[in-house]
Amino acid sequence: MHDHFEPEKILNNDESYVEDRIQSAARTLRRMPDVKVQGYFSTWPTIIREPMEILQMEPEKMRVRPSQQDITDMEEVLFVWLKWIEPEERRLVWLRAERVRWKLICARMGVGRTKAWEMYRRALARIAARVPHIPE
């Protein structure tokens, strides 16, 4: 078996930091509460369920609300960092943060896997070059 090491396929520390922050922003956005229309409510009384009914119900997913710091970090990524790159690069970076597979990204953008990776890495590098404080 032949191990093939491709150095261009590895992100440097700055690019990894930017990638982690963008992925964190995507996770925070998914954890935000659903938007509901204001001013509408039900006049029906709340349903009082029997203990057996409660046991037989489908369990509801528990949603962990993002902290204020998570939201602040997300806003910095969405409203500052992503403005530093082109719309096509922004789309690519966000699709990767949402964990969309490379195959689907390549099909959507009309480029090959290598070209998509190069565009992705270049976008992360452009952001990393402008971020004022990248921790070691």
Residue of 64 and 24 predicted with greater confidence: 24
pTM: 0.75
Place of tokens 């699709």: 95
What is the spatial distance between Cα 136 and Cα 131, in angstroms, rounded to a whole number? 13
Cα dihedral 56→58→59→63 (10° resolution): -150
In tens, the pLDDT along 32-53 reads: 988 777 777 778 888 898 999 8
What is the spatial distance between Cα 87 and Cα 114, in angstroms, rounded to a whole number? 19
What is the spatial distance between Cα 114 and Cα 106, in angstroms, rounded to a whole number? 9
* 86-100: average pLDDT: 95
Domain boundaries, the chain: 11-30+66-131
